[in-house]
Structure 1
Amino acid sequence: MPVSSVTTSRTYLIQQLGQLNDTLSEKTTQLARGKVGTTYGEIGDRRLLDIQLTQRVSMIETYQQTITIADLHLQTGSMSLDRLEEIRQDAKSALDTNDFIIQDDGQTQTQSRAELLLNETLNILNTEIAGYYVFGGTDAVNDPVATIDAILDGENGLDGLRTYLSEFAAANLGTNENGRLDTSALVTNYAGAVPTDSTFTVAEDGAHDFGFDISAVTSTLTNVTVTGPLAADPDSFDVQFTGQPELGETITLELTLPPDHTDTIEIEFTAAATAEGEGTFAIGADLEETAQNLRDALEAEIEKQAQTTLRAVSDEWAAEEFFTTYNGEEPQRIDGPPFDTATALMAGGSTTVEWYTGRNDTTTDPRNDKNAVIDSNLTVNYGVRANETPLQELVQSLAAFVAADFSGGTQIDEQYYNALSTNLRTTLQPAGVEQSGIVDIATDIAITHRTVSLTDDRHFQMKNTYEGTITDIEGIDQDLVAAEILQLQTNIEVSYRASSIVFNLTLSDYL
């Protein structure tokens, strides 16, 4: 064999050994990493599918991170709303019309219970999760709801609810605390010493929405003429006696209540021998005395209704004006002083404590305040504002009840307490309404939470499927690779032996 042939064989063997070593190193790396290679080019013709699936897995992981945060917010919101609904139901029990017991601090026992519920409500409405306030839309950087002390008594020179209640009470009760109605003195004409007719007038004190509004007067009284009301503003009516009525005959006065004057109360009096029975006036010795008895009875009953029924309605109105701030609405307060002769409301935003400071721009749906993209073409909305009507009414009712003053402990105070607690219970649970507004909000959040949960489950399943396919594309058959490594090791050993024989050949051996 020529020397050149031996040299060529030797070079060839070296190349083969190098290739076998490279292949062994590649297979060893594959076995260690569990993948075909380190680049998409090593995958082969399935690399495009592998790239697409890898991108989808990355997108799913991004959605899952968003879902984790949204799920935390939604779970917290759901639990908070559930508790607020329980508080609403507890509040109805706390506003017990049959539990008028004054404590040493001047509050009733029911007010103390309502104050605890109010405190808890405010704390829940300030729920914060990693910098996100559940009931503050998306703008809140601090507690979106003020403290109970600030709400009730004001702070930093701004007025609170108790000031509103006081001013509205003055405006509705008026100077004489009788609902802004004036009852004139009796005017009597005589024939000698015998009265021939006696007249008195009940009139509204001006054109405004405060106090009572005279709606109608009906009478079955014999020898009595009622003139008016004329549906004017201010309105009035005259009662003229030209003789004595008969026993059992009646007169009824209908008054409407602010602020919209659609709710009506009736004051009825029956002619009787004495005025000992409730809702009666005594027939006197002559028509003048009888007219005076009816006048006095009407005036006294109007005053009582003003300090009980009207004052309770006034407190509701004041609280509604104080707390109604949704969509940027400005609270309205009495245009005064003086307040007892006021005729209008004025903007109170600059002088009133802001009980809610979260997001409050105009929107048709506060759920849009907070959203999360949890899949391609799927965005969920779950914003909630503490000043939405159902939540506002809960805070408003509890706060109005706590702020009311029943400390006198008189029969009038008790009747005022009964009227206010009855009205506020109606606000918390309107007649004919089976499901509260808080439950409606909770339902919105629950539906969103279910959507998020189902989407998360779907992402989990799809991610597993994609990752399985990626593993099939990028992965190896470990048993096959191990067998290939053993074969390579065998081949290398054989090649080394062959190489050593060739490399040890000398010219003398060849010759």
Structure 2
Amino acid sequence: MIVNKSMFPLQTGFGVISKMQDRFATLQMQLGTGEKASKLSEMGRDLPMSLSVRSRLSKIEGFSANIDTVKLRLSFLDKTVTRLDAMEAEGRSAAVQGQYGTNNINMATLPGLSRARLDELVTLLNSDVAGRYLFGGSNTDRAPLPDTNVLLDGQGGKAGFKTVLNERKAADLGDDGMGRLDSSLVVGDPPVPGPATASVVTLGEDGLHPFGFKLSTISSTAAPSAVTYTSPVATVPPTAKSLTVSFQPAPAEQIQSGQTITMGFTLPDGTETQLTLRATTAGESHGGSDEFIIGADSGETATNFQAALNAKLVSLGETQLAGASNFAASANFFNGAGEPVLRVQNGGGGFGNATQLRVADATDTIMWYTGQSPAVAAEGLGRLNIGTNTATNSVRLTETAPVSANHGFQISSISPSTANITTSYTAANPSSASATFAANPAAGETVRMTLTEPNGTTRDLELTAVTGKAGAGQFTIGATVGETAANFAKALNVVASEAAMTAEGNPRQSVTAQVDDATRVAYGIQGNESGLLRLVRTMASLSVETYPTEENIIASREPMRLAAMAVADPVQRVADLAAYEAAVVADRRAANGRYDAMAIRQQAQLSESHNAERGSVEILTMELAVAHISLDTASQRHVNYKAQLDNLLSDVETVSKEDVAMEILALQTRLQASYQATSMISQLSLVKFL
């Protein structure tokens, strides 16, 4: 028998030892790092799971980074909107009708305080975080507003708000200061040979335009046998309105002392005002601006009434009309979403006889807001108007003048006439479409109007006649043709409103952030939303309107007083001094009246009644809070999910150091035994074997 090393193959033993050494090295690495492998290739069958989990964790890290960024911006927006809400409250209490302060201190300080608030407001709306502007919608690379000086005073030959305001005030007041109204008198008593006739005062608008006073109502407490009147009547299509007041001649009953005539007017900003003139005898008269003296006959009474009416209109022009004109100009200059900047078109003889507004552009007018803004807005039906002519049972849809190619819907077409509905389309500027009901339509007759947005998108307004209750896109056939036309007009208003709302979209969607696979948080804000716009318009209007102090009034009337004092005739001197005192009182009344007019409008613009409107500061606060809650919810969801994934990844990629240490001890024992056995075998011989 042969005994040698071939019975104990050393090569195999060395291979086993080498594998145990590799395993020992791996275990030492695992003990030191706690990781299962140092390379992906060493993960084995756990590799797909590891890659999947790591991919998901990477997505969560990206979402978390977005959340952190948006939280920073929302925190800044929250503080800004909170300050805007405080400014709104401060503005409401800044000016109160009838509260002029000691020595009219409130009147003196209001413009300066309003200018300071406007400065702060512009700064807030130009806020940025790390170079990203937050109040320009998706236009985040530049400030959405110019600075206050440029807004008010203009720059580089471009008109600012003050210029637009002066033009508007001139257009509203008119050259004669009567608010674009004309009065005339026809004296019928005493008569020329023939029967006595009434003396008639006529008051009429000087044309069809958006400026000045618009006649709305008239009433009188005098007996109908003494005073008759005709009310102003709105027509379709619209025309300049007028009213008349007729004083009946004797022996008819005459107007009595204490009886009144009241006229109502619509002002350029859409508000209403009125004047009341009270009849009085010469002996009872106090020389007030609200009275007229009853004459010896109806002709003299009418003459006195016309003079008092003209003077009162001038007084209202300096107060109520001035305030309304200021706020109308702010609405023209500080344009809202879907509206262009408007200015008065010079009538050729100056702005006092202007008859229309024009669309301003960046070549001649400062654009107050250059951030993102929708071209069509829900408010104002996308710059459309719906009118109904009850005499012809016709419903007319027209574009708002002046037409802007970049703002609002343009009417493109209307469907052909049906058996009972005659349709027509006029492609003039502004264009219009109308539907006239010759008879009640049959169920199923349809009218379709096509609107075009500035970007070329078209929208159809389709209305179908139905019996019974109308649903979406339908109008009810009424008992009469007139009722059907009215139902059609209401349904047209609904579909036009829906189209405008869809075209406008949601300002919040102008800026969004992905915070989960299926969740985007919307937090965009556009600086011309309704609540912010009201603040800008109000602060700008109040900051440019000034009121003379008592010292200014006295100083301006001083030449009149000195001239009166220099009169030698004592009777005339007393009369002239009385006229001076009356002029000072009138100046005080005008200043107070203009302050009151501004205070009333400031209160109305910043009233809490607007809190529920889209785009109000309060709604913005709520919507930003909702976005913040969505972020917090998504963040917590990611935290929980990440913890689960970390545990799963730990199971896949890490090891228990205790288990590794025990395996190392066992492997060391095996290695030592292997080393010893191999050493002994390597030295084996027959002698040693024996």
State whether TM-score is above 0.5. Answer: yes
| Partner Cα separation in structure 2 for residue 97 and residue 254 of structure 1 | 21
Query: Paired residue for 1:214?
Result: 215
Aligned equivalents of 1:23, 1:354: Cα separation in 2: 76
* 1:268 alignment partner, SS class: strand
Is the contact between residue 167 and residue 339 of structure 1 (CA under 8 Å) also seen in structure 2? yes
1:357 and 2:333 correspond = no
**Contact kept? 1:250, 1:271, Cα under 8 Å:** no
What 5-or-longer segments of structure 2 have no aligned partner? 234-238, 376-503, 554-586
Moved more, 399-408 or 32-41: 32-41
Deviation at 1:218, TM superposition (A): 3.0
- Corresponding residue SS for 1:326: coil
Residue-by-residue CA offset, 1:332-368 (whole Å, 9 max, x unaligned): 1111152100111110123221111111244321111
Query: What aligned pairs does 1:493-508 form with structure 2 within 5 A after superposition?
Result: 493-505=672-684
Q: In the TM superposition, what is the alpha-carbon distance from 1:13 to its structure 2 partner?
A: 3.1
Q: 1:190 to 1:270 in 2, by over 3 A?
A: closer
* Contact kept? 2:182, 2:203, Cα under 8 Å: yes
Determine the C-alpha separation between the residues in 2 that align with 1:486 and 1:49: 30
User: 2:255, 2:19 → 1: CA distance?
Assistant: 130
Structure 2 counterpart of 1:470: 649
Q: Report the number of matched residues.
A: 508
CA pair 330-434 structure 1, distance change in 2 beyond 3 A: closer
Say which of 226, 230, 234 aligns to 1:228.
230
Greater displacement, 289-298 / 333-342: 289-298
| Counterpart pick for 2:356 among 334, 340, 344 | 344
Match of 2:535 in 1: 394
Rounded to whole Å, the distance in 1 between the matches of 2:218 and 2:680 is: 133
- The DSSP-based 3-state class of the residue aligned with 1:203 is strand
SS at match of 1:270: strand
Cα drift, residue 200 of structure 1: 3.9
CA distance in 1 between partners of 2:654 and 2:62 (Å): 24
**Could you tell me how far 1:494 is from its partner in structure 2?**
3.0
**Equivalent residue runs for 1:476-487 within 5 Å:** 476-487=655-666
User: Could you tell me which of 428, 434, 452 is aligned with 2:606?
Assistant: 428
Distance 2:103 2:39 in 1: 81
Report if the CA contact (8 A) 2:172-2:179 is conserved: yes
Distance 1:215 1:360, change over 3 A: closer
Is the CA contact (8 Å cut-off) linking 1:35 and 1:475 kept in structure 2?
A: yes
Q: Could you say what secondary structure the match of 2:312 adopts?
A: helix
Alignment pair present for 1:406 and 2:568? no
> Residue 118 of structure 1 contacts residue 398 of structure 1 at CA under 8 Å; is this kept in 2?
yes
**What CA deviation, in whole Å up to 9, does each residue of 1:432-481 have, x standing for no partner?**
86789211011111101101111101101110111111101221111111
SS at match of 1:175: coil
Contact 1:252 1:267 in 2 (8 A): yes
Partner Cα distance (1:127, 1:285) in 2 = 70
**Inter-CA distance 427–230: structure 2 relative to 1 (3 Å threshold):** closer
With structure 2 as the length reference, what TM-score do the two structures score?
0.68
Partner residue, 1:443: 622
Do structure 1's residue 67 and structure 2's residue 77 form an aligned pair?
no
Cα deviation for residue 87 of structure 1 reads 0.8
Secondary structure of residue in 2 paired with 1:372: strand
Q: Output the aligned Cα RMSD.
A: 3.1
Distance 1:467-1:230 versus aligned 2 partners, 3 A rule: closer
Verify the 8 A CA contact 1:151 1:160 in the aligned structure 2: yes
Structure 2: which amino acid aligns with 1:228?
T
Match of 1:418 in 2: 596
Question: SS at 2:668's partner residue?
Answer: helix
Q: Supply the AA of the counterpart residue of 2:156.
A: N
**Amino acid in structure 1 at the alignment position of 2:507:** P
- Give the Cα–Cα distance (whole angstroms) in 1 for the partners of residues 172 and 246 of structure 2: 25
How much does 1:418 deviate? 0.9
**1:27-426 pair list within 5 angstroms:** 27-38=27-38, 42-43=42-43, 45-100=45-100, 108-184=108-184, 187=187, 190=190, 198-221=199-222, 224-231=226-233, 233-240=240-247, 242-243=249-250, 244-260=254-270, 263-272=272-281, 273-276=283-286, 278=288, 279-327=290-338, 329-336=339-346, 338-350=350-362, 351-362=364-375, 363-407=504-548, 410-411=587-588, 412-426=590-604
Greater shift, 240-249 or 409-418, is seen at 240-249
Give me the identity figure in percent: 27
Quick check: 1:213–1:256 contact (8 Å CA) kept in 2? yes
Q: Distance in 1 between matches of 2:30 and 2:167?
A: 84
The question of whether the paired residues in 2 share the 8 Å contact of 1:217 and 1:226 is answered with no
Give, in angstroms, the shift of residue 270 of structure 1: 3.0
Counterparts of 2:191 and 2:659, CA distance in 1: 133
Alpha-carbon distance change, 309 to 152 in structure 1, aligned in 2, over 3 angstroms: same
SS in 2 for 1:73: helix
Give the Cα–Cα distance (whole angstroms) in 1 for the partners of residues 259 and 592 of structure 2. 31
